[in-house]
Chain A
């Protein structure tokens, strides 16, 4: 296990003043629901380590159990402070569950927690990742060629066939990225369990690159699909 060297943040219970760690949900002394701490994270909130591979059944069970503790339904007759705490804690729980149950959202979240910047800007998808330059160049050429023959009135199935051919290498690359992401996540968890902080950080950096590339590949496929559905105009 990775030793946690940081001090555990404390906040006093608004009801009895007892100091409680921010990720404890109920006051150790008076048992009332605590207002939401500001320093916690989704993993600790669920009582989980910062691992990338999560047992979904277990996560769902924790989600249901915590929902049963916090839900505003059960604080109907409580004080205003407790009602607010229940509302905030439930909202946070729902956000946390939505993020952690999805492997990629989970990875993105962990990267942010560990200090990696999520994306440079809103247009991150417009800058081609280094590893994909060649591939993107080829695809763009092919798409232009297809647009030309479409303009010249080529039959629809001929266009569809070329688009399919153009799509296949990207799909293969995407599948390869998924496989590598999977393997690296396992590596990350092993390093986490071994307490190898530096190795873990390096794995996260690799994961971040792969994740950005993967996002880019997904967008490329969407472009091809749009082209397949009649060309050019964004349908959604």
Chain B
């Protein structure tokens, strides 16, 4: 039987997982990576790169490389104007329409770009099944996760991306809910569970009640434009100002800065201080090094962390609960590795959050579990999610009349009666909105619908019942009847910020024309990935604040020099297309760091056992 997988389509990284009645597991690529960087690059020859190779091209060909595309899904140009300046790619679009992202001379929509990422995950999963000797390795369908606070347009864009990747999207599920499913399955816990999900670009909080295998979401809240990206940008702005960089003309240099500050951000989850380091390159005439302490970092990100707390309080209020009634708090998303985030969550809920499940993988695992439920029809577990935002229509005076309230369990439906204002009127315009505000203009426009074919009658006589149905994916459909005649009304939909079916069809055809697989290119990419992994690990060790002490005490005299030389050599080889050189020099660095890795491992074990600091251990070694 062909396969149905679970996919976490993230802002920063994407993953694919699979469950076959048994334990769900994340599928790795050929080099053992679980995370696929959500980055797409298209070179001048129209070759499409996805993942780590695209990530490298961010430093060399940033104008043809796009990251964080999820932030653009289902959004309009007016939503992204503020942050556009820091992205290396250019965006355009008409007000109220789909954003177009420029990669060289090509213009692509966010669903197409996300489609490339999904297609790469599909390929990864199929390669895995093939290697397992599966008779039918083809992946035809998927459950894809989205932030709980995604609106209808953002969900629909995600579904379109799946179609463009050649996947039937069996279900769109919410990321925190998926995480809770994985968590609940793992821990067999019942009661009230809060899931705090701070990812690369989005923030969600969901409050669930788990009982008798039913995972019922009580309330959800969040911000679809808040995450690790915002933290990175704060740091990039500081370093870019130090270097006097202009993002408009020095995009490649800004990307190098971005890479360096992300590294420093990660370091600070482990250490009290680190350095942002940039080697000489475009926009950076001398090597740059800036000390960054955890305290300084925390004061910089405090406003971002604070923005997550208000949605948490609102979600609790909507669920009618006090923080003390929450039995377990689960952390999801890479940004929850930041100690300050953990501390603030702990303070709000008054209990230590669970961190034992990998916050990067738990969502994909949950999606795989849901995929398995859909395919097998097994009923032990059931997810009951809610719609995050109220759905309404614009009435006289631009006021919104709500039809389905936020936090309603889905599927949910509602209906509203319409009539005509003038004699023999045969059509009525309806404007559908999502959001909590009074005035239509303050809410998200989902689309405009035209009811046609109303039988000519005196004004006010027709009774047109319009039915709004939100399905289990959180996606809206609309139908209408004229009750006096029983005539089904034709509905014309013009989605705001979305693609029409015809547009998706056309893109589907276009994407086939550009699909190409080059085995040699892929091998080069794999070698570079492997090289990059060891380079990153080595550099991280060298940057440790306590490294000098450890080296002096435990390493041989010329060892550090040898490692630096091997590192420089390999980085130089990675810049070329010479497969043999990359392979050989990866081996050399591996050899050079063999003893260092052993020393670090022993040191970590000893320090953990004795609870001592590096200096103590180093002193002992002396």
A positions within 8 Å CB-CB of B:
60-61, 64, 67-68, 71-74, 76-77, 87-88, 90-92, 94-95, 97-98
Is B408 within 8 A of A94, CB to CB? Answer: yes
Q: Which of B399-442 contact A (CB under 8 A)?
A: 408-413
Q: Which of B436-487 contact A (CB under 8 A)?
A: 469, 471-472
Q: How large is the interface on B (under 10, 10 to 19, 20 to 34, 35 or more residues)?
A: 20 to 34
Q: In the complex, which residues of chain B have a beta carbon less than 8 angstroms from the beta carbon of A64?
A: 211-212, 214, 216, 382
Q: In the complex, which residues of chain B have a beta carbon less than 8 angstroms from the beta carbon of A74?
A: 377, 379
Question: With contacts A68-B379, A73-B373, A76-B377 known, is A87 near B411, CB below 8 A?
Answer: yes
Is B382 within 8 A of A73, CB to CB? Answer: yes
Is B377 within 8 A of A72, CB to CB? Answer: no
Is B408 within 8 A of A98, CB to CB? Answer: yes
Is A72 within 8 A of B382, CB to CB? Answer: no
Is A91 within 8 A of B170, CB to CB? Answer: no
Closest to A88 in B: B413
Distance between Cα atoms of A90 and B409 in the complex (Å) = 9
Distance between Cα atoms of A91 and B409 in the complex (Å) = 8
Q: In the complex, which residues of chain A have a beta carbon less than 8 angstroms from the beta carbon of B382?
A: 64, 67-68, 71, 73
Interface string of B363-406 (1 = CB under 8 A from A): 00000000001110101001110000000000000000000000
Q: In the complex, which residues of chain A have a beta carbon less than 8 angstroms from the beta carbon of B408?
A: 94, 98
A39 to chain B, nearest CB (A): 16
Is A94 within 8 A of B373, CB to CB? Answer: no
Distance between Cα atoms of A46 and B607 in the complex (Å) = 61
A73, A87, A95: residue with the most chain B Cβ atoms closer than 10 Å? A73
Is B411 within 8 A of A72, CB to CB? Answer: yes
Q: In the complex, which residues of chain B have a beta carbon less than 8 angstroms from the beta carbon of A71?
A: 382, 384, 472
Given known contacts A64-B216, A73-B374, what 6 new A-B pairs fall within 8 Å (CB)? A64-B382, A68-B214, A91-B469, A94-B408, A94-B409, A94-B410
Q: In the complex, which residues of chain A have a beta carbon less than 8 angstroms from the beta carbon of B216?
A: 64
Contact of A77 among B171, B377, B411, B413 (CB under 8 A): B377
Is A97 within 8 A of B411, CB to CB? Answer: no
Closest to A78 in B: B377
Is B413 within 8 A of A95, CB to CB? Answer: yes
Distance between Cα atoms of A90 and B411 in the complex (Å) = 6
B393 to chain A, nearest CB (A): 15
Distance between Cα atoms of A91 and B469 in the complex (Å) = 8
Q: In the complex, which residues of chain A have a beta carbon less than 8 angstroms from the beta carbon of B469?
A: 87, 91
Contact of A87 among B170, B375, B471 (CB under 8 A): B471
B277 to chain A, nearest CB (A): 49
A74 to chain B, nearest CB (A): 6
24 CB-based A-B contacts, threshold 8 Å: A60-B211, A64-B212, A67-B214, A68-B214, A68-B379, A68-B382, A71-B382, A71-B384, A72-B472, A73-B171, A73-B374, A73-B382, A73-B383, A74-B379, A76-B375, A77-B377, A87-B411, A87-B469, A91-B412, A91-B469, A92-B413, A94-B408, A94-B409, A97-B409
A83 to chain B, nearest CB (A): 10
A54 to chain B, nearest CB (A): 17
The secondary structure that dominates the A interface is helix
Closest to B377 in A: A74
Closest to B405 in A: A98
Closest to B375 in A: A76
Q: Which of B207-225 contact A (CB under 8 A)?
A: 211-212, 214, 216
Q: In the complex, which residues of chain B have a beta carbon less than 8 angstroms from the beta carbon of A68?
A: 214, 379, 382
Closest to A94 in B: B409
A87 to chain B, nearest CB (A): 5
B392 to chain A, nearest CB (A): 15
Is A67 within 8 A of B384, CB to CB? Answer: yes
Q: In the complex, which residues of chain B have a beta carbon less than 8 angstroms from the beta carbon of A77?
A: 377
Q: Which of B335-371 contact A (CB under 8 A)?
A: none
Closest to B214 in A: A64
Is B214 within 8 A of A91, CB to CB? Answer: no
Q: In the complex, which residues of chain A have a beta carbon less than 8 angstroms from the beta carbon of B377?
A: 74, 76-77
Is B373 within 8 A of A91, CB to CB? Answer: no
Q: In the complex, which residues of chain B have a beta carbon less than 8 angstroms from the beta carbon of A94?
A: 408-412
Distance between Cα atoms of A88 and B470 in the complex (Å) = 10
A70 to chain B, nearest CB (A): 9
Question: With contacts A68-B379, A68-B382, A77-B377 known, is A91 near B413, CB below 8 A?
Answer: yes
A28 to chain B, nearest CB (A): 21
Distance between Cα atoms of A170 and B171 in the complex (Å) = 50
A155 to chain B, nearest CB (A): 30
Distance between Cα atoms of A61 and B214 in the complex (Å) = 10
Q: In the complex, which residues of chain A have a beta carbon less than 8 angstroms from the beta carbon of B374?
A: 73, 76
B536 to chain A, nearest CB (A): 41
Distance between Cα atoms of A67 and B412 in the complex (Å) = 13
B184 to chain A, nearest CB (A): 15
A29 to chain B, nearest CB (A): 22
Closest to A236 in B: B438
Q: In the complex, which residues of chain B have a beta carbon less than 8 angstroms from the beta carbon of A91?
A: 411-413, 469
Distance between Cα atoms of A60 and B412 in the complex (Å) = 18
Distance between Cα atoms of A40 and B377 in the complex (Å) = 28
Q: In the complex, which residues of chain A have a beta carbon less than 8 angstroms from the beta carbon of B472?
A: 71-73, 87, 90
A235 to chain B, nearest CB (A): 12
Distance between Cα atoms of A10 and B381 in the complex (Å) = 33
Distance between Cα atoms of A64 and B374 in the complex (Å) = 18
Distance between Cα atoms of A68 and B44 in the complex (Å) = 53
Distance between Cα atoms of A88 and B211 in the complex (Å) = 24
Q: In the complex, which residues of chain A have a beta carbon less than 8 angstroms from the beta carbon of B211?
A: 60, 64
A64, A67, A91, A97: residue with the most chain B Cβ atoms closer than 10 Å? A91
A192 to chain B, nearest CB (A): 28
Distance between Cα atoms of A87 and B467 in the complex (Å) = 13
Nearest first, the 9 closest Cβ-Cβ pairs linking A and B are A94-B409, A91-B413, A91-B411, A90-B411, A64-B214, A72-B472, A76-B374, A87-B411, A68-B379
Distance between Cα atoms of A64 and B412 in the complex (Å) = 16
Distance between Cα atoms of A98 and B382 in the complex (Å) = 18
Closest to B436 in A: A236
Distance between Cα atoms of A91 and B383 in the complex (Å) = 14
Distance between Cα atoms of A188 and B343 in the complex (Å) = 51
Distance between Cα atoms of A71 and B471 in the complex (Å) = 11
Q: In the complex, which residues of chain B have a beta carbon less than 8 angstroms from the beta carbon of A88?
A: 413
B375, B383, B413: residue with the most chain A Cβ atoms closer than 10 Å? B413
B382 to chain A, nearest CB (A): 6
A60, A77, A94, A98: residue with the most chain B Cβ atoms closer than 10 Å? A94
Q: In the complex, which residues of chain A have a beta carbon less than 8 angstroms from the beta carbon of B410?
A: 94
Distance between Cα atoms of A94 and B410 in the complex (Å) = 7
Q: In the complex, which residues of chain A have a beta carbon less than 8 angstroms from the beta carbon of B383?
A: 73
Q: In the complex, which residues of chain B have a beta carbon less than 8 angstroms from the beta carbon of A95?
A: 412-413
Closest to B472 in A: A72
A46 to chain B, nearest CB (A): 15
Distance between Cα atoms of A86 and B211 in the complex (Å) = 22
Distance between Cα atoms of A60 and B214 in the complex (Å) = 11
Q: In the complex, which residues of chain A have a beta carbon less than 8 angstroms from the beta carbon of B411?
A: 72, 87, 90-91, 94
Closest to B470 in A: A91
Q: In the complex, which residues of chain A have a beta carbon less than 8 angstroms from the beta carbon of B384?
A: 67, 71
Q: In the complex, which residues of chain A have a beta carbon less than 8 angstroms from the beta carbon of B171?
A: 73
B241 to chain A, nearest CB (A): 39
Distance between Cα atoms of A55 and B471 in the complex (Å) = 29
Q: In the complex, which residues of chain A have a beta carbon less than 8 angstroms from the beta carbon of B413?
A: 88, 91-92, 95
Distance between Cα atoms of A78 and B369 in the complex (Å) = 20
B213 to chain A, nearest CB (A): 9
